[in-house]
């Protein structure tokens, strides 16, 4: 199948690029799919029915359906760590049994959801009081990576849903300016710190947590001002934090969007809306598992991504969001994608001889026009694009800018009078149209990318649920630190 796809890629290279897309061939509607509040338009991709059929045959050849079923059923898909990757269980609202080594994990998941509900309601109802008897006014999330990027996306994207009675802050790195800037804005007596670290050994997180502890007179003062989220509650207790919510070793940090790591979002939007976030993600889980591949949005996104990466040899994925609300979505996907599929060693421990995960970059689309749009138009680097817009009345102007840029980058500008103005076009791109920026839609959008990344990892035969490069670098850093201290 791989060789047949290479042959199709060779044909495309010999054909005029601007006429290759289904969009240019009048097949726009044939290359659009929709799942609830998200529409996926891939009519500007350099694919045709023959290529799509071959890609789906490739998926069937590697038994992709079995791999998707295994992921959601709880098989140990994290090969190197001998664990499941059951982030899908976190948003399974049916509460049906899911077993790991014979134990039903859903009772713990449901119990943790109830704790999130109780805590978020108490804070929103002003019943959670600080040590001095004053209600909470500020929530500070201390975490890095998956313990920061997901919650940050939510607080920014769901601005129309969050309670304005609270202020929301994030501290992620060890730059003292990050900590000091937040502390300057809060009153410690009315502040709740959420300390999130799966291992509860993350250097940046613990350093900032200890600095936050120092704002209080004694350990008795901190009881009502700190909540920990970790897979190692004993470490949080040893530190002096009494309220601890669990995360489990079968949930990767970058896949913890629907876990207690996102407690700040449950507080901000309320538990009922938080459940909507879970429901949006769960509906995509159902979609990816039970929809045929020709109509399966995450699978199509993944397969077309494979086509661009491995057959058209385009290794850059540009994501442009045309809404300020989605400003932090690109950094979130950067971690999700590059930490998952930035691998050169396959599941059997062999070095691969093909391209795997792309470089993911981008940001707000409107700003791109005044920064790196020149490179996109006439530069020598080839990119694939994901363009994300909101389908709401007040987004008309910015959406028209998006459509114009998509047209220019895919169709190009052929000019004879001014050769310096020539734009070749020919950039493959997806267009994701969101009906709104609600908790439900945001949960669905995140799950789309999670499953897309998983499907690609299956085709590349790599493990998307570990991060051995990071762990190796951490070990080297510890050795260097010990050496310098001795």
Name the residues annotated as catalytic: 339, 370, 474
C-alpha radius of gyration, the chain, whole number: 23
Please report which helix (H) or strand (E) contains residue 429, including its range: strand 429-434
- List all residues 6 or more positions away from 182 whose beta carbon is below 8 Å from its beta carbon: 140, 169, 170, 171
How far is the C-alpha of 250 from the C-alpha of 106, rounded, in Å? 12
Task: For tokens 């990892």, name the residue.
Answer: 457
Give the other-Cβ count within 10 Å of 199's Cβ.
13
In three-state secondary structure terms, 66 is helix
Q: Whole-angstrom distance between the N-terminal and C-terminal Cα of the chain?
A: 57
Burial of 18 (0-12, 13-18, 19+ CB in 10 A): middle
Please report which helix (H) or strand (E) contains residue 230, including its range: strand 226-230
Which residues on adjacent β-strands are paired with residue 389?
433
Report the relative pairing of strands 99-100 and 103-104 from DSSP bridges: antiparallel
Helices (H), 259-413: 263-269, 271-290, 297-306, 329-341, 365-368, 373-378, 396-411
Dihedral over Cα of 464, 467, 468, 469: its sign:
positive
Burial of 465 (0-12, 13-18, 19+ CB in 10 A): buried
Give the other-Cβ count within 10 Å of 403's Cβ.
13
In three-state secondary structure terms, 453 is helix
Task: For tokens 């001998």, name the residue.
Answer: 82
**108 and 132 Cβ atoms separated by less than 8 Å:** no
Which residues on adjacent β-strands are paired with residue 243?
227
């Amino acid at each position: 199948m791989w060789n047949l796809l290479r042959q199709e890629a060779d044909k495309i290279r010999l054909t005029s690029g601007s006429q290759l897309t289904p969009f240019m061939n009048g097949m726009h509607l044939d290359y659009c799919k929709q799942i609830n509040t998200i529409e996926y338009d891939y009519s500007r991709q350099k694919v045709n029915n023959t290529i799509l059929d071959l890609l789906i045959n490739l998926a069937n050849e590697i038994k992709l359906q079995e791999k998707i079923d295994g992921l959601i059923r709880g098989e140990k898909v994290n090969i190197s760590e001998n664990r499941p990757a059951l982030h899908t269980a976190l948003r399974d609202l049916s509460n049906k049994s899911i077993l790991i080594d014979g134990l039903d994990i859903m009772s713990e998941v449901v119990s943790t959801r109830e704790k999130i509900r109780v805590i978020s309601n108490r804070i929103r109802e002003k019943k959670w009081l600080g040590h001095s008897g004053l209600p909470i006014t500020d929530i500070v999330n201390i975490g890095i990576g998956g313990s920061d990027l997901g919650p940050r996306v939510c607080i920014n994207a769901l601005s129309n849903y969050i309670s304005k009675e609270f202020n929301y802050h994030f501290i992620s790195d060890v730059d003292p300016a990050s900590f000091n800037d937040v502390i300057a804005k809060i009153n410690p007596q009315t502040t709740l710190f959420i300390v999130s670290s799966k291992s509860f050994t993350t250097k940046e997180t613990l350093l900032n947590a200890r600095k936050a502890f120092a704002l209080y007179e004694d350990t008795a003062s901190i009881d009502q001002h700190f909540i920990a989220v970790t897979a190692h509650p004993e470490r949080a207790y040893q530190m002096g934090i009494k309220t601890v919510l669990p995360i489990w070793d079968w949930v990767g940090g970058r896949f913890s969007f629907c876990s207690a790591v996102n407690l700040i979002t449950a507080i901000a939007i309320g538990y009922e809306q938080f459940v909507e976030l879970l429901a949006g993600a769960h509906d995509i889980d159902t979609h990816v598992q039970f929809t045929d591949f020709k109509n399966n949005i995450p699978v199509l996104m993944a397969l077309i991504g494979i086509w661009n990466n491995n057959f058209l040899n385009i290794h850059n994925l540009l994501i442009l969001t045309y809404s300020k609300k989605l400003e932090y979505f690109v950094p979130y996907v950067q971690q999700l994608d590059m930490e998952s599929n930035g691998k050169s060693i396959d599941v059997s421990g062999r070095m691969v001889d093909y391209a795997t995960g792309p470089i993911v970059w981008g940001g707000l689309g409107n700003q791109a026009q005044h920064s790196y749009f020149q490179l996109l138009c006439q530069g020598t680097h080839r990119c694939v694009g994901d363009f994300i817009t909101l389908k709401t009345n007040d987004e008309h102007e910015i959406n028209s800018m998006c459509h114009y840029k998509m047209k220019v980058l895919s169709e190009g500008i052929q000019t004879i009078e001014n050769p310096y103005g020539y734009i070749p076009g020919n950039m493959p791109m997806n267009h994701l149209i969101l009906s709104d920026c609600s908790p439900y839609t945001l949960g669905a959008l995140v799950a789309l990318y999670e499953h897309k990344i998983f499907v690609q990892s299956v085709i590349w035969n790599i493990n998307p649920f570990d991060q051995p490069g990071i762990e190796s670098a951490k070990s080297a850093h510890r050795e260097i630190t010990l050496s310098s201290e001795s």
